Structure 1
Amino acid sequence: MEVTPALAIRSSVGIELWNSAGLKIPYVPNQNFPRDESKFCRAIVFSADGRFLAWANGTKVEICATKDWKIIFSLPRPKTFYLKFSPSGKYLVTWELFITTKDNAEGTPNLNVYSTADGNCIFSTIQKKNTDWEPHWSMDESILAFMVGGEAFFYETNEAKGFEKPAKKIGGARNGSISISPFGTNPYVAFHLPGAKGSPSMCKIFKYPDLQAAQPIGCKSFFQADRVEMMWNKRSTGLILLTSTEVDSTGASYYGKQALHFMSTRGDSFAVQLKKDGPIHSVSWNPNSTEFCVIYGFMPAKASFFNLKCDSTFDSDEGAINSIYYNPFGNLVILAGFGNLRGNVEVWDVAKKKIVSTLQAPDSTMLEWCQSGEIFVTATTAPRLRMSNGFKVWHYSGALLHETMWPEGQELLEVIWQTYPSGTFTEQPITNVKLEGIKSTQPQASAQAYKPPNARGINIPRPSTATNDNSIPVSAGRKDRRNRPRPASHSKNKSEENDDAKHNDSTSSNNAQSQKFRPISRDSAKKPSKPEDLEKAKRIRALNKKLSDISKLKTRRDKGEHLELNQVQKIDSETSLMKELNDLKIT
């Protein structure tokens, strides 16, 4: 029997589940799923093994079993921002904003671990930062680690008292970080120790439980690394280190510098040599763990594939690309250009290193492969883009299989594929025959170079400031959820067509999004009366400042100025910042 994964959808009007009865059959809402009609859903996630679906709706956290889509637990966590299942779904972790009060200067634990067997909270701790908040698990879930104040605490969950106190700890330096390898009963632990006062930064690899300073199996030192992103391959044989600085001390670039390093669990280490100057846009491991791909350089960028000795095995032609997406089997890879690029998508046969198909997905804010490895979804979502929201399902041959535009006045926030146990799908041969698809109702991106309105002598009127508490137009917020028009597959109404014509150019859509951001009103900025409100107001001011800076960067981008990678990354962070701002306003 053919298995066709469902799509879980989070929007400004709740949580829905959409199903398809086959590869060429359109997706429609699943009537068996208990649709959550809350307007304040902040997070949604499947467990990796596919047993559970969880979401936070602003009142509680719901967990349902995917075998029948029935809710099995409701957790009393109304302020939850983020959710994360452990590798096999035995635990669900929730995170909410950390707040202190006059009566509670130490604050209350804001990260909680729940058992999915009975819904009980088995562990709580304080995790102040919303960046890198996720706990670190070993694949068999026997080890759980948290970073607190630069120190990593390891809990052995297979012991009777595993959550009462940590079994191991490592670190202590400010801004240190760890990464646990995804394979093995006794996993590898990578620990990054930032440099200070002229000393280099250092990354060490340990084999758990041997975490003493003199026990690393590998060590790599490097200068110019304010921040290090650590990426393990699936088999835990190799580790990529993407280092970056806020400012380039050599003076070659005002905005910072990046470098790529490789470490193996055999003790080898290499600097990855790139063939073009400029920023590193994206790095990704092939799921087969034998190669990785890097997109780098000033536009047009280059994509290079490397083996485990860091030798370049293939270089693509230069193009408008900045994103890498391997399918789950690693036999296909997508090289795409999103964000401030036009949405070009190239699907490559990895073994033959040749293009299978090309397509256009302008204004896409996300792309995700289905676990089957043959189809993928692209979507235009808020708050990154608030207009022309919708999602499309594609076959790797380039055929468009499904298209749904979200109703006017509502916002599509997130689209994720249903997951399944390992082994549910098998790798299929790659075919050069294009599957028959449908014709998109959306206009293609303009081939002409974009000119901002002020360069065309056009005055930009001020946008309306009438919004409800979730930054949705007031008229949309008043609509009754049960009476809203259903998202139309393959067709659009007149108002949607007019919107598409107005926002044909992908860059102008990004510009329209930047105009949607507005600082908090004078009334909402009044001095709060409660200590927790003071903390919230302080965070809101900080978010508004960051979003204002991003708006200025987008204006510079739209005028044709070149932006460095860290500036593009700041623009890309707009989605999470606006999500946090919107959530703060409704709590």
Structure 2
Amino acid sequence: MAAAADGVVPTLAIRSSVAVELWSSAGPKLPYEHKSNLPREETKCSRSICFSPDGRYFAYSNGRDVKVLEACKDGAGEWPVQCSLPRPKAFYLKFSPRGNYLCTWEHYAITKDRPEGSPNLLVYDITTGTEVFAIVQKNQTNWEPSWSSDETIFALVVGGEALFYDLPEGSAKGFENTQRKIGGSRGGMLSLGPGHCPPYLAFYNPGAKGAPSMCKLYKYPALGQNQTVACKSFFQADRVEMLWNKRGTGLLLLTSTEVDKSGASYYGNQAVHFMATKGDTCSVPLSKEGPVHCVKWSPKATEFVVVYGFMPSKAALYNLKCDVIYDFGEGPRNCAYFNPFGNIIVLAGFGNLPGAVEVWDVPKREKLASLKLADTTVFEWHPNGEWFVTATTAPRLRISNGFKVYHYSGALLHETMWPQSQELLGIEWQQYADKTFSEPKITKAKHEGIKSSQPEASKKAYTPPHLRLLKEGKNPEKYLPQPTVPGLAPASAGGANNKKNNKNKPKGPRREVNVKAVNGGDVDTAAASAAVPTTQTVTVTGEEQQASQTPHHTHRTRPQAPRYQQENAADQQRHLHQHQPHPQANGQNSNEKERKIRTVAKKLSDIKKLKSRQDQGESLELNQLNKIKMEATYLDELKMLKLSD
């Protein structure tokens, strides 16, 4: 094992809903646990943890301040507090490349005391704990400032303009004044490349009013308009992600749009472009349509991998000429992770995918292992290049929280599941300086591991019950449901029982319908008196109401008659029906007669309104004219109803 050979004990930082703590393990077969010499602070308000790139410091927030701890060198000593920073609302933490400065970011807020807002991006000197820089940075997505590898240049983008600060080694006075500026348009982005000192830098300007977006490479401090090293223009780019290789000689641009105008993808369009410090630029060819899921540089800085296309997606390895040097084929994948030495790559499908993981030997182009890591939200390689940790964390998933440590051969080395009452929020390996670990030798030998305590999903295919009975030599017909009455089908018997049960069901709620009486008099009086309610009520049960609202469907259809013919036919049929004798009780006869009087009075009132509209010169429809012709008939009917008293 690389860790055992180099004598370095791996340390794991854990942030949960109850505490921030460090765990360690003495070897691959020994469990990870919290030891007495490692720090642990109980807090429910921690939002960020962070190791410095060289592993010397560990910083975390606890809701009161930000503490920076110095790592012990022998692995058995204490972790003393280097400094405490008064940032109770710190949301993000980020160390500088050499770990001499710590950047904190918190949400921008306006108060009554300071209506203009307070600076929310601050830089602290770790050795003294003093604040050396503060500025307002409202953008949360690209809040991180850029540093040169030797920390002599500090740069950030504010309002689309890139500001540069020159920092002499060991001096923080350079934060007082800006030395150079470029850009000026909204949405600009800046990225300083690693490796070279002074570094190369890339500045992105979004397109506007039909002009293409553009990314330019410069060699600091030559930032003039005609001093660009390389330039790449492209359309359809609402967002750009800039990825440098480890040497700072190549830059990948992952461009994307918010909306795909062609409608082919819900996630918009993505494209990958390459820029070299030698001046070469090109677009990375993709052989399958669909989104670009992941782009990663190899730590060797001579090749990169792209996972792209509709599912099942493709994964391909490219060289610096953007030629495909190996195709990993298709599969349910959307992530790629190189180990710190670039000789092993993991292709995985996390998020909305089932968690299939493939481990590949990059130099030999061979698959080493395949495993299933469902519900993984965090994946990170250990600096030794042989182990990796996977975790299920909140708030992405609030159940089955925990972490597992694997060997690249697929063997499970450690497993810790969090209690149901707690949540695992974050996990991070301690980083180390370059050449701390030697490059591991890759073998196909299966590493010895432990068995997971979590139940595994059944791998057997589903078999219907009747096929299972046939395999057991049983007759499926004997297990069919038998009718309750001999000679009666089960469905019919069930229907009879349902009818019997329906009789015992409680009836629906009753509703009261007011019956309005119409006093004697002329047509206008009858129409006006229709709004006067009487004390008599008619009760309608819920079942009758439901039956009256149930539509009657027929299989045969025929053309419908015109609307006016339907209304006239309905009126004539109602008129004949009203004059048919019905043997009813005295109370019911009285109610029926009152209802008929109201109906006729309503029709006469409508006719009066139609005649008024006709007198004003308004043209009426044919059915309205036919209704006016029925006025004499309705008057005779109303007269007969009143005389029948």
Q: Return the TM-score normalized by structure 1.
A: 0.75
1:2 and 1:22 in contact (8 A); partners too? no
Summarize deviations over 1:401-435 as a string: whole Å, max 9, x none. Answer: 00000011100001100112221101021011011
Q: Secondary structure at the match of 2:40?
A: coil
1:362 and 1:445 in contact (8 A); partners too? no
> Which of 15, 22, 27 is the aligned partner of 1:22?
27
**Paired position in structure 1 for 2:281:** 269
* Counterpart mapping for 1:135-150 below 5 A: 135-150=145-160
**Paired position in structure 2 for 1:59:** 64
- 2:55 matched to 1:45? no
Q: Quote how far apart the aligned CAs of 1:129 are.
A: 1.5
Q: Quote how far apart the aligned CAs of 1:382 are.
A: 0.3
Q: Quote how far apart the aligned CAs of 1:74 are.
A: 1.1
Which whole-Å CA distance do the structure 1 matches of 2:266 and 2:377 have between them? 28
Which whole-Å CA distance do the structure 2 matches of 1:205 and 1:445 have between them? 51
Identity fraction in percent: 60
Which whole-Å CA distance do the structure 2 matches of 1:228 and 1:21 have between them? 43
**Paired position in structure 2 for 1:151:** 161
2:403 and 2:417 in contact (8 A); partners too? yes
Which whole-Å CA distance do the structure 2 matches of 1:9 and 1:315 have between them? 37
* Counterpart mapping for 1:359-370 below 5 A: 359-370=371-382
**Paired position in structure 1 for 2:337:** 325
**Paired position in structure 2 for 1:435:** 447
Which whole-Å CA distance do the structure 2 matches of 1:243 and 1:348 have between them? 27
Q: Quote how far apart the aligned CAs of 1:103 are.
A: 3.7
* Counterpart mapping for 1:167-186 below 5 A: 167-186=179-198
Q: Secondary structure at the match of 1:163?
A: helix
Pick closer, same or farther for the CA change 1:88–1:255 going to 2, 3 Å: closer
Q: Return the TM-score normalized by structure 2.
A: 0.68
Summarize deviations over 1:37-84 as a string: whole Å, max 9, x none. Answer: 011111000000110000001110001001131112111110100100
2:204 corresponds to which letter in structure 1?
Answer: H
Which whole-Å CA distance do the structure 2 matches of 1:448 and 1:190 have between them? 53
Which whole-Å CA distance do the structure 2 matches of 1:253 and 1:430 have between them? 40
- 2:396 matched to 1:423? no
Q: Secondary structure at the match of 2:190?
A: strand
Larger CA deviation: 278-287 vs 353-362: 353-362
Which whole-Å CA distance do the structure 1 matches of 2:112 and 2:225 have between them? 40
* Counterpart mapping for 1:119-268 below 5 A: 119-158=129-168, 161-253=173-265, 255-268=267-280
2:62 corresponds to which letter in structure 1?
Answer: N
Which whole-Å CA distance do the structure 1 matches of 2:332 and 2:265 have between them? 22
- 2:95 matched to 1:85? yes
2:265 and 2:291 in contact (8 A); partners too? no
Q: Quote how far apart the aligned CAs of 1:445 are.
A: 4.7
Structure 1 segments unaligned to the other structure (5+ residues): 451-587
Q: Secondary structure at the match of 2:133?
A: strand
Pick closer, same or farther for the CA change 1:445–1:301 going to 2, 3 Å: farther
Which whole-Å CA distance do the structure 2 matches of 1:23 and 1:447 have between them? 29
- 2:350 matched to 1:345? no
Which whole-Å CA distance do the structure 1 matches of 2:27 and 2:273 have between them? 43
1:196 corresponds to which letter in structure 2?
Answer: A
Which whole-Å CA distance do the structure 2 matches of 1:448 and 1:309 have between them? 46
Summarize deviations over 1:321-352 as a string: whole Å, max 9, x none. Answer: 11000000000000001001111111100001
**Paired position in structure 2 for 1:110:** 120
Q: Quote how far apart the aligned CAs of 1:249 are.
A: 3.4
Q: Secondary structure at the match of 2:414?
A: strand
Pick closer, same or farther for the CA change 1:326–1:445 going to 2, 3 Å: farther
Structure 2 segments unaligned to the other structure (5+ residues): 1-5, 73-77, 463-645
2:259 corresponds to which letter in structure 1?
Answer: V
Give the number of aligned pairs.
Answer: 450
**Paired position in structure 2 for 1:557:** none
Q: CA RMSD in A?
A: 1.5
Q: Which has the higher contact order (CA 8 A, sep 6+)?
A: 1
1:346 and 1:358 in contact (8 A); partners too? yes
1:362 and 1:444 in contact (8 A); partners too? no
Q: Quote how far apart the aligned CAs of 1:250 are.
A: 4.3
**Paired position in structure 2 for 1:525:** none
1:93 and 1:111 in contact (8 A); partners too? yes
1:74 corresponds to which letter in structure 2?
Answer: S
Q: Secondary structure at the match of 1:211?
A: coil
Which whole-Å CA distance do the structure 1 matches of 2:429 and 2:57 have between them? 13
Pick closer, same or farther for the CA change 1:78–1:446 going to 2, 3 Å: farther
Summarize deviations over 1:129-185 as a string: whole Å, max 9, x none. Answer: 211111110110001111101011011111663111111111101101011101111
Q: Secondary structure at the match of 2:174?
A: coil
2:132 and 2:172 in contact (8 A); partners too? no
Q: Quote how far apart the aligned CAs of 1:255 are.
A: 4.3
Pick closer, same or farther for the CA change 1:192–1:23 going to 2, 3 Å: same
**Paired position in structure 1 for 2:416:** 404
Q: Quote how far apart the aligned CAs of 1:102 are.
A: 3.7
Pick closer, same or farther for the CA change 1:433–1:141 going to 2, 3 Å: same
**Paired position in structure 2 for 1:335:** 347
Q: Secondary structure at the match of 2:41?
A: coil
Q: Secondary structure at the match of 1:84?
A: strand
- 2:388 matched to 1:376? yes
2:66 corresponds to which letter in structure 1?
Answer: V
Q: Secondary structure at the match of 1:367?
A: strand
**Paired position in structure 2 for 1:386:** 398
2:148 corresponds to which letter in structure 1?
Answer: S
> Which of 281, 299, 303 is the aligned partner of 2:315?
303
- 2:99 matched to 1:94? no
Q: Quote how far apart the aligned CAs of 1:317 are.
A: 2.0
Q: Secondary structure at the match of 1:93?
A: strand
**Paired position in structure 1 for 2:544:** none
Larger relative helix fraction: 2
Q: Quote how far apart the aligned CAs of 1:444 are.
A: 3.0
Larger Rg: 2
Q: Secondary structure at the match of 2:289?
A: coil
Pick closer, same or farther for the CA change 1:125–1:390 going to 2, 3 Å: same
